[in-house]
Amino acid sequence: MEIIEFTPDRNQLAYTFGGRPPILTVRPGDALKLWSEDAFNHALKSVDDLSSAKVDLRFVNPQTGPFYVAGAEPGDTLAIHIAELTPARSWGVSAAIPFFGGLTSTDRTATLQDALPDTTWIYHVDSARQTVGFQARFGDFEVALPLEPMLGTIGVAPPAGEVRSSLVPERFGGNMDSPDVKAGTTVYLGVNVEGALFSIGDGHYRQGEGEACGTAVEGAMNSTIIVDLIKGGAPHWPRLETDTHWMAVGSSRPMEDSWRIAQVEMVRWFEELFDLHQMDAYQLLTQTAQAPIANAVDANYSVVVKAAKSYFPRQHAYDGLHATMRDRATRL
Amino acid sequence: MEIIEFTPDRNQLAYTFGGRPPILTVRPGDALKLWSEDAFNHALKSVDDLSSAKVDLRFVNPQTGPFYVAGAEPGDTLAIHIAELTPARSWGVSAAIPFFGGLTSTDRTATLQDALPDTTWIYHVDSARQTVGFQARFGDFEVALPLEPMLGTIGVAPPAGEVRSSLVPERFGGNMDSPDVKAGTTVYLGVNVEGALFSIGDGHYRQGEGEACGTAVEGAMNSTIIVDLIKGGAPHWPRLETDTHWMAVGSSRPMEDSWRIAQVEMVRWFEELFDLHQMDAYQLLTQTAQAPIANAVDANYSVVVKAAKSYFPRQHAYDGLHATMRDRATRL
Amino acid sequence: MEIIEFTPDRNQLAYTFGGRPPILTVRPGDALKLWSEDAFNHALKSVDDLSSAKVDLRFVNPQTGPFYVAGAEPGDTLAIHIAELTPARSWGVSAAIPFFGGLTSTDRTATLQDALPDTTWIYHVDSARQTVGFQARFGDFEVALPLEPMLGTIGVAPPAGEVRSSLVPERFGGNMDSPDVKAGTTVYLGVNVEGALFSIGDGHYRQGEGEACGTAVEGAMNSTIIVDLIKGGAPHWPRLETDTHWMAVGSSRPMEDSWRIAQVEMVRWFEELFDLHQMDAYQLLTQTAQAPIANAVDANYSVVVKAAKSYFPRQHAYDGLHATMRDRATRL
Amino acid sequence: MEIIEFTPDRNQLAYTFGGRPPILTVRPGDALKLWSEDAFNHALKSVDDLSSAKVDLRFVNPQTGPFYVAGAEPGDTLAIHIAELTPARSWGVSAAIPFFGGLTSTDRTATLQDALPDTTWIYHVDSARQTVGFQARFGDFEVALPLEPMLGTIGVAPPAGEVRSSLVPERFGGNMDSPDVKAGTTVYLGVNVEGALFSIGDGHYRQGEGEACGTAVEGAMNSTIIVDLIKGGAPHWPRLETDTHWMAVGSSRPMEDSWRIAQVEMVRWFEELFDLHQMDAYQLLTQTAQAPIANAVDANYSVVVKAAKSYFPRQHAYDGLHATMRDRATRL
């Protein structure tokens, strides 16, 4: 197994899923050590940098990739195991961008009201204590929060020739902003084009569920991932697996549709895992699922539906691929 | 502190919030041991009892109450601490009611499609192992799931003379179907009418987040609760507190509005708890909140936004009332 | 046929559907001349009366009624023909109430933004020219708009013991705010309780579709209506009929659900009218329906789906009741 | 003024907005006579051709274009006047595609129910009587409906490098499916890329509002259009103008957001047209707007908000460009 290290030049950054030639070809089984720029494209470096002045919304969520996976064909399942996520800077940044976020009107939920105050927060990373520090901008309150790195964005090229902004979560993955996309998680994505053309980015040093104000503790990230390929079997929507949970992510609007999508995908997965009738899978998940909102702020809202493995008989999805990749991750 | 025991006769059951005279008067500080009927009104007793034949939808979610709280006036805050929840029967029941639930069209999300098969599941309670047993209806699959009792419904009379079905979650609480309404939780509800007129019901032996098929493991319940009253300070929407979390529940449609409501209520609470500016509370919760969907199936969808106390400096909401009630609960 | 005149005293006004004893009993066939107060309960009389200071939101949309219809039983169809609507005052009033309306955040679509400026507009009625005069509040612009009286609110008592605010549109009718509820229209409502207990109110001197700011040109109204009763045959949702159109009104959230409800109700009606298979009715309406939004601002959003009679073979819904009532209206 | 005639070869058809090189360059002022294929790509020719068997969903809504407009730059306003629309075939076709449409569950509003029956309807065009003939598929009912040709799809390339399926309505126009896009209408679209790169397609011989089943009376179309360019002044969302109305189209989810978008865009337009304060424009439109749903079935739902010119003082949007183009259209 090769370990490929890659840090994009500024002009190599991608801002879309699809529409870009691959930056590198990788083979199933390869491990990658990747650097990604922060979601604001390094435009906010202090609390005095306001998003309205500094952030160019055409160039946000810069992606590292796309990577061409040798042998990947439409209908296949791309498996990406996240082995390790480490902040690549000593600080992260969050911002309340005017008319962007969950508790403000937006270009979609359009009202005639004024914007909330454009505000930037800087979080200092304490590597020893593994925290990021919140400091109030309108008072003296301070608190150190656990560092919990995750990737806001991971996805493949869309089908049907579409090219989507890296701000969009969809069937192809993308900007799902799920805190469950963290070290130890395997992400399964349906392949839509030859080579899959996946990319990652939008590292978060931590994020609450919903990502209420629209931006997490955004930061440049060093990611170690392992790539693998399952021939055929593409899930309808992204699936996640950890040592403890099976999950599916739905991304649409309104939010109940995101939930419906993820819940139906989990019903399908449970039918497969336990050879259940649809109605029994529906019932069993009704009594056991967790359903955290991942984001309530992006172009589509994302909901995760997850099932704790501990409740159920042991089953190995995809022939135990997650456990295999997890094992390899520990030996990198 | 008095302990009042009450088991309603069948003709004492209430099916609405509001619109009913109180069944009993209690004083702040009283503890109550209450029995409640299951959500189907005991109409489904075997897998051969189908909801279309047996369940009268005008008489579901029967409530135990309403109770008049001496001294409660509009604008006050009713605090109900759930001390203990114990199944009152040796079995629970769930059903996929035609055109009711999350993965079917409904009277609201109306389509021209046929209903899913009307199906009933019976779960046996194993008190020793503290489990409920799932048995597939269309196969042999069986699994014992942890018993995790909760109350689907807890609420007060609505304002403005409204009377709402006990199927409705709203600003007054009601059918929120949140798994966080369990033993150890204090529920804070704004009082709308003299005496508050609260009731409880819809006991669940367990339920997943979202309550996907529309019904949990429904069962008659023995509930021990402690009632208290805070003069003034009514929250806009229901708040919950446990030893580990502060929470708010929003119930509306579409689901993003439920989330917005709960997230704004938590911003308000954080402003109070930590003397924060609104923008700082918004930011801080963005990075720390959890946001589980409670129900995606009722007349309104319910979303819980919660904050883990362990992340923050110690603060005592409502002068530490939760801790006080929790303490009293252990001594009942 | 009797003509009953009724003007409620202030203390006779109702603010709910359901929950009130009848104010009068009428018989099928009776004509009623009714006076109704404006939606603000006469609290705004000049542009200097601001809603935040003067309007008590517990006492808005005052209803004239409820009327007990002799012989009406659950499952019957109440037919109310609107014979004539005439402004009862020489001026109407509209207001942008803080955090109420379509282009502002609300208690449901909750954000952290400031409210829009609380503003009141007075419209003078020119009876000779049949216009209402708009005058800009922040400039000199003036324009006379056609007087087009309609009833914002018409409904019956809800089922299952519910009592709903007169601000709510629902299956029982209520605050649908449809410009199609005007002179010449017959409204068909399913009866939920003995006597139906219908009421009317919320007269609008004119209103655009959507009622964007939340309030129409609100005014006291003189309404002449004829009441009739069809035994059985209750529609699932309100239906309207004019000389030119068949219509159904759906009221829910999100707005696509309101549309789905109304569209399905029209499919049902077309199956009945033309003895069509469901799929053919679906197709035929797809190519012919109109679908104006009635309100985008109330507790539920209302959408009307309508079909122009001129496109189709002549059919007499409810044995031609609309034509009969229309004819009687001309002879009052 | 040149008249350019263009009929694409099958391999020249485009299935996206953006992502394709221009097929032709036109100059502001040019008139174009264009042929477009039907939405099903000519795959359904009889009632026995079912969409599940014959339609390849990657190749639907084929576009004629894109056309490069000389001089068009981002921020400009493209004006396309529709001079004439004439059916290019003697029959049109509609279909209820499984899991597509408004009264069925879909890939987004996902449920576990079975699909509605896959059904195709053929409509014969009677050019003399200017009708299309509906024939029931499950009975004998027949009716001739007025021929009212419109374009389901008209749009420009999206911004930010995105490429969107021709099934999508958005800020860039696209698959809005508005019956108001017909002969006599001028469509104003903001330009996002050099040359604008507009295309048209998805001709409908007639369509009801909402396009309930998901497909109109689809047919190949001969379209005569005039293209013009306004430097700068790009509207946020598509605007339409006829001799009688000003309109804006919003396309998003949930449907209330589509309405909010269109209503806000009309407020902006009224501020410009009549030099009104935002609050006065909001109020004036509240009492005068029409708000038909265009589609309730596409990737985004589209709502049109329109204002009748007859209510207002005469104003010439864009220096009277619509009237000028309308006049030129009569002289082609």
Nearest to B161 among C163, C250, C282 (CB): C163
Whole-angstrom distance, CA of residue C229 vs CA of residue C69: 8
The string of pLDDT tens digits covering residues B8-17 is 999 999 999 9
Question: Residue C272: what are its φ and ψ, rounded to 5°?
Answer: -70, -50
| C80 interfaces chain B, CB cutoff of 8 Å | no
Within 8 A of C254 by CB-CB distance, chain A residues are 254
Instruction: Name B84's Cβ contacts closer than 8 Å, sequence gap at least 6.
Output: B183, B222, B223, B224, B329, B332
CATH number corresponding to A1-41+55-83+152-332:
2.60.120.580
Nearest to D163 among A109, A161, A282 (CB): A161
Chains in contact with chain C (at least 3 beta-carbon pairs closer than 8 A): A, B, D
Tell me, rounded to whole angstroms, the distance of Cα A102 from its chain centroid. 18
Give per-residue pLDDT as tens, C150-168.
Answer: 999 999 999 999 999 999 9
Sign of CA dihedral D261, D264, D268, D274: positive
Helices (H), C13-115: 51-54
Residue A204: closest C-alpha in chain B: B287
D33 Cβ neighbours under 8 A, 6+ residues apart:
D3, D4, D5, D6, D222, D223, D224
Check whether B123 has a pLDDT greater than 80. yes
Chain segment B225-239, per-residue pLDDT in tens: 999 999 999 999 999
The answer to whether residue A298 scores a pLDDT higher than 70 is: yes
Say how far apart CA A279 and CA B258 lie, in whole Å: 28
Per the document, the length of chain D is: 332
Q: pLDDT tens across A82-108, in order?
A: 999 999 999 999 999 999 999 999 999
Chain B residues with CB inside 8 Å of A275's CB? 139, 141
Residues of B in contact with C109 (CB under 8 A): 257, 260
Mean pLDDT of A25-29: 97
Instruction: For residue D181, list its beta bridge partners.
Output: none
- If 0-12 CB within 10 Å is exposed, 13-18 middle and 19+ buried, where does residue B257 land? buried
**Shortest Cα distance from D118 to chain C (angstroms)?**
10
Residue C138: exposure state from Cβ atoms within 10 A (0-12, 13-18, ≥19): middle
Let me know: does B236 contact B275? Beta carbons within 8 Å. Answer: no
What H or E segment, with its residue span, contains residue C203?
A: strand C198-206
Euclidean distance between CA atoms D196 and A262, whole angstroms: 37
Question: How many helices (H) does chain B have, and how many strands (E)?
Answer: 4, 22
Which of C104, C113, C114, C297 should one mutate to test binding to chain A, selecting the residue with the greatest count of A CBs within 10 A?
C113
At residue D2, the pLDDT reads 75
ipTM for the predicted complex:
0.98
If you measure CA to CA, which chain D residue comes closest to C96? Answer: D283
Q: Give percent of chain B with pLDDT exceeding 90.
A: 98
Nearest CA-CA partner of C151 in C212, C59, C82:
C82
> Which residues in A lie closer than 8 A to residue C255 (C-beta atoms)?
none
CA distances (Å), origin D77, targets B48, D194, D224, D237, D238:
66, 12, 20, 11, 10
d(CA A224, CA A112): 45
User: Which of B155, B185, B184 minimizes the C-alpha distance to B65?
Assistant: B155
Q: Which of A272, A290, A271, A289 is nearest to A280 (CA)?
A: A271
Instruction: Using CB atoms, pick whichever of B136, B259, B290 lies closest to residue A277.
Output: B136
Give me the pLDDT at residue A2, please.
Answer: 74
What confidence score (pLDDT) does residue C1 get? 60
Q: What is the sign, positive or negative, of the torsion defined by CA atoms of A272, A278, A280, A283?
A: positive
The Cα–Cα gap between C307 and A305 comes to 41
Q: Mean of the pLDDT values across residues A12-31?
A: 98
Q: Judge: A104–C115 Cβ closer than 8 Å, yes or no.
A: no
State yes or no: cis peptide before B169, omega within 30 of 0: no
Residues of chain D with pLDDT under 50: none
Pairs across C and D, CB distance < 8 A:
216
Q: Are B31 and B3 in contact (CB under 8 A)?
A: yes
What does the mean pLDDT of chain B come to?
97
Give the Cα separation of B127 and B107 in Å (integer). Answer: 38
CA neighbours closer than 13 Å in the CB half-sphere of residue D166: 31
- Per-residue pLDDT, A91: 98
Neighbours of chain D (3+ CB pairs under 8 A): A, B, C
Sequence-separated (6 or more) residues with CB below 8 Å from residue B311: A143, A145, A146, B288
Distance CA D156, CA D82 (A): 15
Q: How many CB atoms lie within 10 A of CB D87?
A: 21
Distance of CA A315 to the CA centre of its chain: 25
Instruction: Determine, for residues C15 and B160 on separate chains, whether the beta-carbon distance falls below 8 Å.
Output: yes
Single-letter residue type at A29: G
Dihedral pair phi/psi, residue A258, rounded to 5°:
-60, -45
Q: Looking at the predicted structure, is the pLDDT value of residue B2 above 80?
A: no
Residues B210 and A259: their CA atoms lie apart, in Å, by 9
Mean pLDDT of chain A: 97
Taking each helix axis as running N to C, give the angle between helix B278-286 and helix B255-274, from 0 to 180 degrees, rounded to the nearest 10.
120
Cβ under 8 Å to C: D residues 172-231: 206-217
Which chain A residues are closer than 8 Å to D16 by Cβ? 160-162
Q: Tell me the shortest Cα–Cα distance from A147 to chain D, in angstroms.
A: 33
Angstrom distance (rounded) from CA A236 to CA A77? 10
A-to-C residue pairs, Cβ atoms closer than 8 angstroms: 33
Rounded to whole angstroms, the Cα distance separating B74 from A231 reads: 63
Report how far residue A116's alpha carbon sits from residue A95's, in angstroms, rounded to the nearest whole number.
Answer: 11
Q: Which of C121, C134, C212 sits opposite D289 (nearest CB)?
A: C212
Query: Whole-number mean pLDDT of chain C?
Result: 97
Distances (CA, A) of B326 to B185, B227, B239, B249, B323: 8, 12, 16, 21, 5
Q: 10 Å Cβ neighbour count for D232?
A: 9
Q: Is the pLDDT of residue A1 over 80?
A: no
Contact list in A for residue D18 (CB cut-off 8 A) is: 163
D103 to chain B: which residues are within 8 Å by CB? Answer: 110-112
Are the CB atoms for D65 and D23 separated by under 8 Å? yes
For range C200-227, the mean pLDDT:
98
Q: Which residues of D touch A159 (CB under 8 A)?
A: 58
Option in A141, A206, A287 nearest B94 (CB):
A287
Q: How far apart are the first and last CA of chain C?
A: 9
Domain boundaries, chain D: 1-41+55-83+152-332
CA C145 vs. chain centroid, Å, equals 21
Site of tokens 């509930």? B223
CB B263, CB A297: distance < 8 Å: no
- Predicted local distance difference test score (pLDDT) of residue A130: 98
- D299 and C CB contact within 8 Å: no
Chain D residues 99-158 with a CB less than 8 Å from chain C: 102-103, 116-117, 119, 121, 132, 134, 136-139, 141, 143, 145-146
Is B112 within 8 Å of D111 when comparing Cβ atoms?
no
C-alpha span between C249 and C88 (Å, rounded)? 27
For B26-46, what is each residue's pLDDT tens digit?
999 999 999 999 999 999 999
Interface mutation vs chain A, best among D16, D63, D108, D109, most A CBs within 10 Å: D108
Measured distance CA(A74)–CA(A233) in Å, rounded: 10
A314 backbone dihedrals φ, ψ, rounded to 5°: -60, 130
A267 to D109: CB separation less than 8 angstroms, yes or no? no
Cα–Cα dist C165/C299, whole Å: 9
Find, among A221, A151, A203, A207, the residue nearest to A182 by Cα: A151
Residue C134 · residue D287 · CB < 8 Å: yes
Interhelix angle D255-274/D278-286, rounded to 10 degrees, is 120
What is the 3-class SS of chain A, one letter each residue?
CCEEEECCCHHHCECEECCCCCCEEECCCCEEEEEECCCCCCCCCCCCCCHHHHCCCCCCCCEEEEEEECCCCCCCEEEEEEEEEEECCCEEEEEECCCCCCCCCCCCCCCCCCCCCCEEEEEEEECCCCEEEEECCCCCCEEEEECCCEEEEEECCCCCCCEEECCCEECCEECCCCCCCCCCCEEEEECCCCCCCEEEEEEEEECCCECCCCCCEECCEEEEEEEEEECCCCCCCCEEECCCEEEEEEEECCHHHHHHHHHHHHHHHHHHHHCCCHHHHHHHHHCCCECEEEECCCCCEEEEEEEEHHHCCCCCHHHHHHHHHHHHHHCC
In chain D, which residue's Cα lies nearest the Cα of B116? D113
Instruction: Tell me the pLDDT tens digit for each residue of C74-122.
Output: 999 999 999 999 999 999 999 999 999 999 999 999 999 999 999 999 9
Which pLDDT does position B1 carry in this prediction?
60
Q: What is the dihedral of CA D318, D322, D325, D329, to 10 degrees?
A: 170
State pLDDT tens for residues A236-270.
Answer: 999 999 999 999 999 999 999 999 999 999 999 99
Nearest-by-Cβ selection for C114 from A109, A110, A114: A114
Do residues A102 and A210 lie in contact, with contact meaning Cβ atoms separated by under 8 Å? yes
The residue-averaged pLDDT of A144-164 equals 98
Taking CB atoms and an 8 Å cut-off, how many pairs form between chains B and C?
85
Q: Using a CB-CB distance cutoff of 8 angstroms, which residues of chain D are in contact with residue A269?
A: none
Q: Any chain D CB within 8 A of the CB of A271?
A: no
